[in-house]
Amino acid sequence: MRETNSGAAALMSQPPLTVSDRLARKALRNFKERVIELLLLGAASVSVLTTVGIIWVLVSESFNFFSNVSIWSFLTDTMWTPLFAEPRYGILPLLAGTLTTSMVALVVAIPLGTTIAIYLSEFARPAVREVVKPFLELLGGIPTIVYGYFALMVVIPLLQLLIPDLSGFNMLGAGIVMGIAIIPYVSSLAEDAMRAVPMSMREGSYAMGATKLQTAFRVIFPAALSGILSAYILGISRAVGETMIVAVAAGMQPNFTVNPLEPAQTISAYIVQVALGDLPHGSIGYQSIFAAGLSLMLMTLALNLVGHVVRRRFREAY
Amino acid sequence: QSTVKIDGSSTVFPVTEAVAEDFQKSKKGEVKVTVGISGTGGGFKKFCRGEIDVADASRPILKKEMDACAQAGIKYIELPVAFDALTVVANPKNAFIKQLSVEQLKKMWEPDAQGKVTTWKQVDASFPDAPLKLFGAGSDSGTFDYFTEAVVGKAKASRGDYTASEDDNVLVQGVSRDVNAVGYFGYAYYAENKGKLKAVPIVNKEGKPVEPGPAAVLDGSYNPLSRPIFIYVAEKSLEKAEVRDFVTFYLKNASKLATEVKYVPLPAKSYEVALEHVNKKKLGTVFGGEPEIGVTIEALLAREAKL
Amino acid sequence: MKSEDIPSIRKIIRRNKRLELFFAVAGFLALLVGVLTFVALFAQMAWSGWERITPDFFTNFPSRRAGQAGILSAWVGSLLVMLVTALSAVPLGVAAGIYLEEYAPKNLFTDIIEINVTNLAGVPSIVYGLLALGVFVYTFGFGQSILSAGLTLGLLILPVVIVATREAIRSIPLHIREAAYGLGATRWQVTRDHIVPYSLPGILTGVIIGMSRAIGETAPIITIGALTFIAFLPESPIGPEFPWVNFEWLKSGFTVMPIQMFNWTSRPEEAFQQNAAAAGFILVLMTLAMNAVSIWIRYHVRKDIKW
Amino acid sequence: MRPDKGVAVKASVENFSFYYGDFKALKSISMPVHEKRVTALIGPSGCGKSTLLRTFNRMHDLYPGNRYEGTIRLHPDNTNLLDPAVDPIEVRMRIGMVFQKPNPFPKSIYENVAYGLRIRGERNRSVIDDRVKEALRGAALWSEVEHRLHDPATALSGGQQQRLCIARCLATEPEVLLFDEPTSALDPIATASIEELVHELRDKVTILIVTHNMQQAARVSDYTAYMYLGELMEFGETNQIFVNPKRKETEDYITGRFG
Amino acid sequence: MRPDKGVAVKASVENFSFYYGDFKALKSISMPVHEKRVTALIGPSGCGKSTLLRTFNRMHDLYPGNRYEGTIRLHPDNTNLLDPAVDPIEVRMRIGMVFQKPNPFPKSIYENVAYGLRIRGERNRSVIDDRVKEALRGAALWSEVEHRLHDPATALSGGQQQRLCIARCLATEPEVLLFDEPTSALDPIATASIEELVHELRDKVTILIVTHNMQQAARVSDYTAYMYLGELMEFGETNQIFVNPKRKETEDYITGRFG
Ligand SMILES: Nc1ncnc2c1ncn2[C@@H]1O[C@H](COP(=O)(O)OP(=O)(O)OP(=O)(O)O)[C@@H](O)[C@H]1O
Ligand SMILES: Nc1ncnc2c1ncn2[C@@H]1O[C@H](COP(=O)(O)OP(=O)(O)OP(=O)(O)O)[C@@H](O)[C@H]1O
Ligand SMILES: [Mg+2]
Ligand SMILES: [Mg+2]
Ligand SMILES: O=P([O-])([O-])[O-]
């Protein structure tokens, strides 16, 4: 050791703080800590308040709606024409439209998003990743109305070349573009989850003679499963709630079908249609958007609860 | 600094926007004008809460809305500002549609047609057996209300299996891409897309097929699909100089500006009458809260004279 | 395997590598789909909007004449709305993230908060619009103002900020925390001096991702009612005298870039489509700029933080 | 090792048990900690050495579900460290800790050492400067870093980082210093310098050190506690424990016949 | 330690240098690795032990900017492991590695051991079953896990996990096994069991082990290489290196006068 003891000796010469000093400080300290904790708790509660607010708004307006329309017919009627002279209030066509477009979107977004995530996390050089990832995230920043026109003007005409008598508005085209639009949500989160798998896992696998592909699929993917599932759940929620793309390209036609080649309307598209439209507030047609919104909210809620349980089950343990 | 707040119909928006733009310029920015689009119904909702000064409306005020305004003590002056001609369009490549009668349109659009009338042949035996593709206004727009009233005979009575959109350009795209398509929307969208679409002459009450156009609207021969559009001004707001100035400016320039944005202006006489109403504060509506179709300019003027 | 088996090893490797190559190509193509879509959309907007991007485009208000219409009120509106969004979502989100990660006891309530936050991330934006209409616009009486819109989008991105904050905090190793507590730091001191600074890069990333999403949102803003024609700017947030800030602008009506775009795309005149493309291009540039800033900050702050 | 003549007791553990949730990790432990002496805790992995050590500055309070039973008294004021009424922060202010893995904050060297002073409310720049310097001297690091006090601490080598962590504790003048296997992540050279440092510090501060290296315990400590499966098997002067253990188990462990 | 009579050379390092970017971490190293013997790499921290070890299965290829110079020949086929034309995957299939921190995959115990076989395309269930069993036996883990082969590997204790990692390597019958401080994260009991295992394995496979514990090197190895600052200072039979080192530096390090 190069130092002498003089430093340490000087150091210990001051008397320790007396006990009463400490007590005085403690009271002040505890008060301050308490106030800060309450403030932070308040901030955390805002998210709960938001949910409560959403549910309150949706339920109270839906309440009026359901005093005119029976829940039974809402859930079983196969026609949705709330704004017509002879209104029918069956949510099934909208639900079918929502599920079909979402399904198409997921068929695009999950394989592509996962592939991209694996490619970026395990195959691409770091420099490529650093450039490409923000780029992909920008896809999430393009206004969805732009995607809507992209679907209508580019993708659907292309599809019509493949499927000759495809109608000009359909769930397939809207769903595909919606899928592309949610790729970044899926790929970015899934990639984060895979990056988070410690390097020691990769070294372990490579040291056995595994290729990148084997490492990615057999080790990294299962290890990151819970994070990847979160990414999927978010992607599904996005698809279910996506509005402008389907509003522009899917045809706005409540159609009780799951055939993606046909036009249809989704719950969110219906809501924005009415919000943009001409309906007197307080009319039953206006209240119908809250009933529709409530259905949408319940769907995403159910989805996320399932996601929560599934994620718990696959929690990473490296 | 003073502000004029306007909201309401998307159909009336282009005219009001043009007026607002020029008015602000003429006032050298001393007066602020804001124009929103929340639909005729949304506009009346705000109007009857006293949140805005002027409501744009593509149809006359309805009973429900009159009650709401009355309850809030809002009185208003109704001012027709231009005409719109709902235009039935088909694909330019379509060879067999030469004209359509209201009965034929009804066959296509009435609620009973849903799922049943799916080919042109079913509409008229002389048409080929080609699939029928329909495009139309979203079910909560003033355009939809008016069209159904005029064609089917009952507002909002329509089949549901057609492609609807609030955005008329989407409909333009749809019709221009499909040989067997037919659709309807405001005249301005047709006027701007004449290359991609053809307007279908409509057989009028007199039994004559008439193409939409300013002249046909003005002389009343394009019926029943032409309709007046309005602004409603709150009486209280008129006490503010800037609102009065704005409305006066509107009526004085509507003719020129409506033409510019491809609407059909009213005859000059009509604007003078309207201006008089403003000055004399003639309150209320001439429609009695019921939707009405095929009102000609003369009829409108006559009614207004009686106010 | 023994060294004699080398040929068989090689065979296995060749097979494995073929698969790997196949996937690498697939991955690259998948990436291309994403990147090319972006490039195509961006290039298309640039291509058709290019002529309109002049200095005037940024300094002009909307107009009925496509050639004179500009985005001044829209970009200023977007900027101010984003300011409110950031000022509301960042402190709330970071505080909530800190609470959940550093303070919250494990109990039913925090479990509820937690499930709730993941759930909120999936709630469709249009539903936030409905909430804001009921709560901010009417119940709180903020009206259709910058404040309402900013808070709505703030709530919309709150879950993103919370999740990013939590992730960032979770990546701070336990031993750093223990070191600080071991010295006698209070919870707040640990949070202030260590947790927040070290998680800043991650938080920033989350904020930017959230803001990139918020700046392009159309649906919720439509529901609360942005104006479509607005030819003046809100009051400046910088006041002329002490304390040099001014809150009048919060109450002002506004429009934002996506609304302006939406309005232009639904115009009948072709020329407005160019404006829409130009506006879209600039909107994406704004998003790009935000991302660039975040990457820069992330890089420069993260450089100094390692364990 | 030094003679035990007239050495004061700095802390006394009395009948102390500890639970991780339902798991009883420490079973009724009683032992003294002598003032200005080095006490080593040894024993096989999982026997509870770290658990006992971390009790001294209430580290377990940071995680939910942990429970203390019994008392640890700190002298001369006779405070029961485990009393719920005693603020854990106060305890940690009096008792510093050095961890197994060097864990400097990702801040500058200077800020690392100054941190303890700052959270105690010290604002006076020159006071802080002096104390940082003293502490770095005390941790035998001054000469190596004096010209780069404002470099990031993470740029230091492992051994330097560990000495920095010691300096960080010293700056706040703790009454007791806890070391949890401070050298297990270090190379032999760094290990030697830390051992030497512990040696020097024992004149000024009471030290409790966990190690699973018996040679290290023998080299640096005055007293040794041998633990096994959460129990204190034997406590005594290091000399005695290593040369003449009273219990067979201790002897087995020390001679490497086991563990 | 065993006599060196007629022992074949499994690998020979010739004039090998290694660069992390611009930093030359290994300087012209030449040494043999004897077949079915244990060779220990010792030296102070940072001297390049791990770097050299990881070269043997081209781990450095995973990170950009690393550069090899010189050759490492694997006998009997005389392949140069570092030849760019030689596929690193082939090298890794022939040479297994056990890391400092146990790193089982987050899969079942069974799947961990079967992993190497699966990536080699083995599909036959009963073949895999047999090989898994053998490998677990070989790693002295069978009796502890035989009834819970399908439990997650992460539920095992540290020492068990490390033996699992060894079994994972053994299942593919590598020609050389690399160990990088395999016991430094383990407690003494687990350490002893791993050491014993290395002892047993040397009849079947060539072993290269990095350790910074000299006693461990002395206990388990037949040959020892002492490295210092990227250079190979001395290589020889372990007996000779520990009892009668040729160089002063080696002696200083081994006797603890330094490091
Ligand atoms: N957070 C915890 N929750 C539950 N049990 C724990 C926790 N930490 C430690 N234990 C258990 O308590 C016992 C004592 O652990 P402790 O870490 O004190 O041992 P140790 O003697 O320090 O061992 P080592 O030499 O490995 O550090 C062990 O059985 C351990 O598994
Ligand atoms: N990825 C890297 N990039 C740059 N330099 C490195 C890298 N890894 C190690 N080094 C440097 O190379 C030298 C040799 O490191 P190596 O890890 O091989 O040492 P070691 O002998 O294994 O030490 P230890 O006993 O601490 O594991 C050291 O100076 C180290 O700082
Ligand atoms: Mg321990
Ligand atoms: Mg090493
Ligand atoms: O906006 P509208 O004209 O359809 O009411």
Name the domain boundary from C14, C31, C51.
C51
Question: How many Å apart are CA C109 and CA B250, to the nearest integer?
Answer: 59
Nearest Cβ partner of E188 from D44, D184, D188? D44
pLDDT at residue number C253: 81
Same domain, residue pair C47 and C132: no
Same domain, residue pair C153 and C278: yes
pLDDT at residue number D176: 94
pLDDT at residue number E34: 94
| Beta strands at D206-210 and D231-237: parallel, antiparallel or unpaired | unpaired
| Beta strands at D23-34 and D9-20: parallel, antiparallel or unpaired | antiparallel
Ligand nearest the Cα atom of residue B57: 5
Ranges of chain C with pLDDT below 70? 1-4, 239-244, 302, 304, 307
Q: How many CB pairs under 8 A join C and E?
A: 35
Q: Does A315 touch chain E (CB under 8 A)?
A: no
C268 alpha-carbon distance from chain centroid:
32
CB contact under 8 A, C229 and B21: yes
Quick: pLDDT tens for C66-104.
888 889 989 999 999 999 999 999 999 999 999 998 888
Quick: pLDDT tens for E180-189.
988 877 777 7
Quick: pLDDT tens for A198-221.
888 999 999 999 999 999 999 999
Probe site for chain C from D53, D54, D60, D62 (most C CB atoms < 10 A): D62
Does any domain span residue C1?
no
Same domain, residue pair C233 and C117: yes
Shortest distance between the Cα of A69 and any Cα of chain B, in A, equals 19
* Segment 47-66 of chain D within 8 Å of chain C by CB: 57, 59, 62, 64
Q: Which residues in chain A are contacts of D143 at CB distance < 8 A?
A: 2-3
E and C touch per CB criterion (3+ pairs under 8 A):
yes
The CATH number that applies at residue C113 is 1.10.3720.10
CB contact under 8 A, C3 and E121: no
Does any domain span residue C38?
yes
Q: ipTM, 2 decimals?
A: 0.79
E51 C-alpha to ligand 2 centroid (Å) = 6
Q: Does D165 touch chain A (CB under 8 A)?
A: no
Same domain, residue pair C82 and C16: no
DSSP category for residue B124: -
Q: What mean pLDDT value characterizes chain C?
A: 85
Probe site for chain E from C3, C4, C15, C16 (most E CB atoms < 10 A): C3
Dihedral sign from CA coordinates of D74, D79, D85, D91? negative
Give the long-range contacts of residues C301-307, CB within 8 A, separation 24 or more: C301/C200, C301/C201, C301/C204, C302/C201, C304/D106, C304/D152, C305/C197, C305/C198, C305/C201, C305/D106, C306/D106, C306/D154, C307/C172, C307/C173, C307/C175, C307/C176, C307/D103, C307/D106, C307/D154
* Residue found under tokens 């298309």: C44
- Cα C68 to Cα B166, C61, D212: the distances in Å are 26, 8, 80
Does any domain span residue C144?
yes
Ligand 5 contact, B142 CB (< 6 A):
yes
Q: Which protein residue has the closest C-alpha to ligand 1 atom 26? A: D45
Shortest distance between the Cα of E231 and any Cα of chain A, in A, equals 25
CB contact under 8 A, D196 and A7: no
B8 C-alpha to ligand 5 centroid (Å) = 7
Residue A163 has a CB neighbour count (10 Å cut-off) of: 11
CB contact under 8 A, E45 and D158: yes
Same domain, residue pair C118 and C148: yes
CB contact under 8 A, D190 and E45: yes
Q: Does A304 touch chain C (CB under 8 A)?
A: yes
Same domain, residue pair C67 and C214: yes
Ligand 1 pocket at CB < 6 A:
D 20, 23, 25, 43, 45-51, 212; E 187
Question: Predicted confidence band at A10 (pLDDT cuts at 50, 70, 90)?
Answer: very low
pLDDT at residue number C15: 87
**Structure tokens belonging to residue A227:** 């994070």
Residue C44 structural domain: 6-51
Ligand 5 contact, B141 CB (< 6 A):
yes
Same domain, residue pair C59 and C24: no
Same domain, residue pair C188 and C143: yes
B and A touch per CB criterion (3+ pairs under 8 A):
yes
pTM score: 0.82
Chain B neighbors (3+ CB pairs < 8 Å): A, C
Extents of the domains making up chain A: 15-68, 80-314
Q: Does E154 touch chain A (CB under 8 A)?
A: yes
**Structure tokens belonging to residue C161:** 């900020």
CB contact under 8 A, C1 and E93: yes
Same domain, residue pair C194 and C293: yes
Quick: pLDDT tens for A267-310.
988 888 777 665 666 778 778 888 998 998 898 888 888 888 88
Q: What percent of chain C has pLDDT over 70?
A: 95
Contact D30, D13 (CB under 8 A): yes
Number of Cα atoms under 13 Å in the Cβ half of residue A304:
22
Shortest distance between the Cα of A37 and any Cα of chain D, in A, equals 15
Quick: pLDDT tens for A148-205.
888 888 898 899 899 887 878 899 999 999 999 899 889 988 998 898 888 889 999 9
Per-position pLDDT tens, chain B of length 307: 688 999 988 889 889 999 999 999 898 878 889 998 877 888 888 899 888 999 999 888 988 889 989 999 999 999 999 999 999 999 999 888 889 999 999 999 998 888 889 899 998 889 999 989 899 887 777 888 889 989 998 888 888 888 887 778 888 888 988 889 999 998 988 988 888 899 999 998 888 999 998 888 888 888 888 888 999 999 999 999 999 999 999 999 999 999 998 899 998 888 988 898 888 888 888 887 777 777 777 777 778 766 6
Same domain, residue pair C202 and C109: yes
Question: Predicted confidence band at A14 (pLDDT cuts at 50, 70, 90)?
Answer: very low
CB contact under 8 A, A84 and B160: yes
Same domain, residue pair C46 and C182: no
pLDDT at A315 over 80: no
Q: Does A15 touch chain D (CB under 8 A)?
A: no
Quick: pLDDT tens for E67-100.
999 999 998 888 999 999 899 999 999 999 999 8
pLDDT at A12 over 50: no
Q: Does A167 touch chain E (CB under 8 A)?
A: no
Shortest distance between the Cα of B170 and any Cα of chain C, in A, equals 8
pLDDT at residue number A166: 83
Ligand 5 contact, B40 CB (< 6 A):
yes
Say if residue B224 is preceded by a cis peptide, omega within 30 of 0.
yes
Tell me how many domains chain C contains: 2
E46 C-alpha to ligand 2 centroid (Å) = 5
**Structure tokens belonging to residue A200:** 């020691």
Q: Which one of 1.10.3720.10, 1.20.140.10, 3.40.50.300, 1.10.10.10 gives the CATH number of domain A80-314? A: 1.10.3720.10
Q: What percent of chain C has pLDDT over 90?
A: 22
pLDDT at A11 over 50: no
Backbone angles phi, psi at D138, to 5 degrees: -55, -35
Instruction: Render chain C in DSSP notation, one character per residue.
Output: --GGGHHHHHHHHHHHHHHHHHHHHHHHHHHHHHHHHHHHHHHHHHHHHGGG-SHHHHHPPP-SSTTT---HHHHHHHHHHHHHHHHHHHHHHHHHHHIIIII--SSHHHHHHHHHHHHHHHS-HHHHHHHHIIIIIIIS---SSHHHHHHHHHHHHHHHHHHHHHHHHHTS-HHHHHHHHHTT--HHHHIIIIIHHHHHHHHHHHHHHHHHHHHT--HHHHHHT-EEEE-SPPPPSB-SSTT-B--GGGGS----HHHHHHHHHT-SSHHHHHHHHHHHHHHHHHHHHHHHHHHHHHHHHHTT---
pLDDT at residue number C264: 86
Q: What mean pLDDT value characterizes chain E?
A: 88
pLDDT at residue number B64: 85
CB contact under 8 A, E59 and A203: yes
**Structure tokens belonging to residue D171:** 């700056």
Question: Predicted confidence band at E258 (pLDDT cuts at 50, 70, 90)?
Answer: low
| Beta strands at B76-85 and B226-234: parallel, antiparallel or unpaired | antiparallel
Nearest Cβ partner of C3 from E76, E120, E121? E76
Per-position pLDDT tens, chain D of length 259: 454 566 889 999 999 999 998 889 999 999 999 999 999 999 877 789 999 999 999 999 888 889 999 999 998 888 899 988 888 888 999 999 999 888 999 999 999 999 999 988 888 999 999 999 999 998 888 988 989 999 989 888 888 999 999 999 999 989 999 999 888 777 777 888 889 889 889 888 999 999 877 778 888 999 999 998 899 999 999 999 988 889 888 887 776 555 4
Residue A310 CB contacts under 8 Å (≥ 6 apart), including other chains? A229
CB contact under 8 A, A276 and B39: yes
Question: Predicted confidence band at A1 (pLDDT cuts at 50, 70, 90)?
Answer: very low
E and B touch per CB criterion (3+ pairs under 8 A):
no
Q: Which residues in chain A are contacts of C280 at CB distance < 8 A?
A: 142-143, 146
Same domain, residue pair C175 and C187: yes
Ligand nearest the Cα atom of residue B144: 5
